[in-house]
Structure 1
Amino acid sequence: MTKITFIEPQGAKVEIDVINGWTLMQAATSHGVEGIEAECGGSCACATCHCYVEGEQATRLPAPSNDELEMLDNVAAERLPNSRLGCQIRVTPYLEGLVVRMPEAQS
């Protein structure tokens, strides 16, 4: 298990012990984190699991794929340099302490 902190749109922090191998989207939806819709169920086809990854652990993430970058062009909230799709990030022990901030809007 890896501890990830999600920050909901209104600022509430939700700390979750995430099963390694799960995606950030799976962790957020299974624990009722507000601010994520995940309409496509994790197939990188909707951009409604858009999130902002923060903290030094964010530098440990693999680069986004071309498909993810293309979907990030369609996000509802502002796209920032640290914008990612939660369905494309698999949790590993190296991400212990990662902070994931949810945007104000997904659609």
Structure 2
Amino acid sequence: MKLWYDIEAMELMIRKRNGNLEPYDAEKIVRVTTAAGLRPIDASELAEKVTRWIELQAKKNPQVTSIQIRDKVFKELEKVNKYASGLYAWYQNLKDKKYTARD
């Protein structure tokens, strides 16, 4: 079984919807949750929480997907800011429609 870590850099790799692997970037979570209405400090804390969750998930199942991360971000957003979670869900739904239209 292949682990989804880049051994040299020990970078956590995420499986995207198109099947590609991409290095995990917590700043993406900070940017999107800030855009949804979280204060930057709250967005950073949420990104740290999600990062810890991803690291735990990668130990159990090395193939962490962008969809799993998206769902975790939404669940964490719901706990801290219902308005931001609604905007985040709307944005993700819009992205899903664009992604589906490409197929």
Q: Which has the higher contact order (CA 8 A, sep 6+)?
A: 1
- TM-score w.r.t. the length of structure 1 is 0.30
Q: Which has the higher strand share?
A: 1
Q: TM-score, normalised by structure 2?
A: 0.31
Could you say which structure has the larger radius of gyration?
Answer: 2
More helix by share: 2
